[in-house]
Chains A and B, each alone.
Chain A
């Protein structure tokens, strides 16, 4: 079982990307997955969590995700103890930042950084970093294939933005793989 926790702010697409990953794993790879948001009132700009569980076998446990293998941080202003909580010993933190050295002292877990904001502005024209961070996650984890994620984006996003988001995922994937 892979457990992935997404941290963003309301409006940044943190839950959308948790769902796209779950769709890629189940609909396009025949695995089992659950994707769910942090439950409760929703507000733009407030910290929002998304969760994805992926497994080769049926997932029945819907209790809270206390521990995870990957934490993906869409917005570096969220970095702190709450974000770093419950990352497993060999877990990885994926962080959208230009200045990773600023955060290394906060955790002994591995931090993989990518400047997702610049990439998103370049390709999408907006600082929506969810798909860039998904590309980075694929490069680090291989939980699903790049192909499946692109299929999920084509099916799960509006046609007008799907193609550019596929390009974002690919570029982010290559950037992190190339490091």
Chain B
């Protein structure tokens, strides 16, 4: 089938990408706002346009267990989840990454209970950054579609051998419809060859996987870390190869936007990037030297790229749609640990917003840039600020 343009939601774009990536096994358990992904994939399996084994399991824990089992015999696998579902499968995440299985999972970013809520923030996925999974965050449906396809090639690369979580902001991306270019199957097949691995249970070449190894545990994880350090180069390489074939690329680990001569830069994750782009354009028109950097990956962390930007700006802001209660935003902590290697790091503000789906408007982003420009001018600013809240802080 040749490529075409379709008007779909972020969820549907992911399902289309999964169809094009031809996984052998899909294990599925529905949870809002991810449900549409696994529903559409089941339609594809039913109508024969995707020849996969579709396992409708009884929980998220089982979904990841089934994907793990399938990956252990060398299958390309897919699953998807969100929020509490991700936490329920959390036990399995280090099993998968430790076994070095290249499972691709879509996560619809949705907040955690309690208070019980449905809408989007990043508390679910960011609670799992230590699980050994690569994490990428998408800005629009096209990027989501393209990243599912790229994710298989990155994850299955023998230099990397790590699972990938492709994150889409719940509702803001999963339930928003837009036009995407759907690549043709032949083009995707040429970009993403069938998965072949020696890292599997094989009757003709018996070995164990997920084995108990008290003595080698430490060396094993050191090697895992050393390989993960190679992932940024592979991610950049795959992004370029994708661009050469499909005409779209995303900048690898970080996409800087109008940062070239910026005095202040705002770091973003996910769809809020798009809102910030509009504000950057408007403020540039007014003569303010502002820019933004879209962090595409949280693991591996784009330390080099952040150091490079931080080294030439006067102030830096980080939007966190999450909070590690008792400290600060999780993205902020990671940024701080990178920039502290500079001789004189720029001063920084952490903007905590969007929790439970609270709106972050263009006006709010403009306010953040206003604070950063004052900070760059030498004024003292509160280090952690809550955006668009309806109550006073006590302290």
Contact = CB atoms under 8 A, between A and B. Distances in A.
Interface string A16-35: 00010011001100001111
B173 interface: yes
Contacts of A22: 7, 177-178
Given A19-B177, A27-B179, A40-B118, A60 B277 contact: yes
Given A62-B275, A63-B361, A27 B5 contact: yes
Contacts of B360: 63
Contacts of B357: 39
A36 B277 CA distance: 20
Interface in B1-21: 5-7
B119 interface: yes
A63 B179 contact: no
B31 to A, nearest CB: 14
Given A60-B274, A61-B274, A26 B178 contact: yes
Interface in A110-163: 156
Contacts of A11: none
A37 interface: yes
B359 interface: yes
Nearest to A51: B176
Contacts of B159: none
A45 interface: no
A35 B362 CA distance: 19
B56 interface: no
Interface in B83-137: 118-119
Given A22-B7, A61-B362, A35 B177 contact: yes
Nearest to B277: A60
Nearest to B120: A39
Contacts of B362: 61, 63
A62 B7 contact: no
A113 B6 CA distance: 33
Nearest to B169: A62
B155 to A, nearest CB: 28
B7 A156 contact: yes
B381 interface: no
A59 B277 CA distance: 10
Contacts of A59: 178, 274
A33 B179 CA distance: 7
Nearest to B33: A39
A84 B5 CA distance: 35
A41 to B, nearest CB: 7
Contacts of A101: none
Given A62-B275, A63-B361, A64-B361, A37 B140 contact: no
Interface residues of A, number: 22
B117 to A, nearest CB: 9
B275 A61 contact: yes
A66 interface: yes
Interface in A81-126: none
A62 B361 contact: no
A39 to B, nearest CB: 4
B344 to A, nearest CB: 33
Contacts of A63: 275, 359-362
A64 B273 CA distance: 14
A178 to B, nearest CB: 31
B209 interface: no
Nearest to B7: A23
Contacts of B172: 39, 62
A36 B118 contact: no
Contacts of A23: 7, 177, 179
Contacts of A62: 169, 172-173, 176, 271, 274-275
Interface string A35-51: 11101110000000000
Nearest to B278: A61
Nearest to B118: A40
B171 interface: yes
B40 interface: no
B277 to A, nearest CB: 5
Contacts of A33: 178-179
B119 A27 contact: no
A37 B175 contact: yes
Contacts of B171: 36, 39
Nearest to B140: A60
A144 B359 CA distance: 29
Contacts of A40: 118-119
Leading 5 A-B pairs by shortest Cβ distance: A60-B274, A26-B179, A23-B7, A39-B171, A36-B176
27 contacts: A19-B177, A22-B177, A26-B179, A27-B7, A32-B178, A32-B179, A33-B178, A34-B177, A36-B171, A39-B119, A39-B172, A39-B175, A40-B118, A41-B118, A60-B139, A60-B140, A60-B273, A60-B278, A61-B274, A61-B362, A62-B169, A62-B172, A62-B274, A63-B275, A63-B362, A64-B361, A66-B361
Interface of A: 19, 22-23, 26-27, 32-37, 39-41, 59-64, 66, 156
